[in-house]
Amino acid sequence: MGRGPSPGWKQEITLLSNQIWAKIAEKRPADSGELSALWREAHSIYLETAAANLETWAERLGPDREAVAKIAAESVAVEIVDKATGKLFRRVLPLKYYETGNGVLLSGEAPDGAPSAIAFLSDAALTRLADLFGQGPDAPRCGKTGGHAQGEDV
């Protein structure tokens, strides 16, 4: 079982964050749009680095780890860049998030309180749906039709 963060953990991370901002300031951004662009680039680098490190650590944990078959959360964080100003905004929204190999489902409430949801289906899920509705390939995957091998006379 792992230990929690040390008492000075927050201060250490704050110091590292301030060092990142100092590096951004060294670039001398001319305006808020350039500052925002530099921040987005630094944030993207951070996310890529974090993902690579987490993957490495996960591999070290060994094969006894459970594979992630689904991801679920009670809220989502959305980051947007305003088209007019170029400014980055982050909002936490009260949307339920559910993801599997079939895609992503976001659900919540409409302004009137009625349940509302939107699904983003994966390519695999769309292929299965097309098959179910008779829009898939004409050739069966098993190579047989009606109990006879392909090419056999009935």
Give pLDDT tens digits for 82-94: 888 878 888 999 9
Note the pLDDT of residue 1.
Answer: 45
Domain spans, the chain: 9-64, 66-138
User: Computed from CA positions of residues 83, 88, 93, 95, in that sequence, does the dihedral angle turn out positive or negative?
Assistant: positive
- The pLDDT score that the predictor gives to residue 127 is 87
Q: What is the pLDDT of residue 4?
A: 72
pLDDT of residue 117: 95
- Entry pTM: 0.53
pLDDT lower than 70: segments of the chain: 1-3, 63-67, 136, 138-154
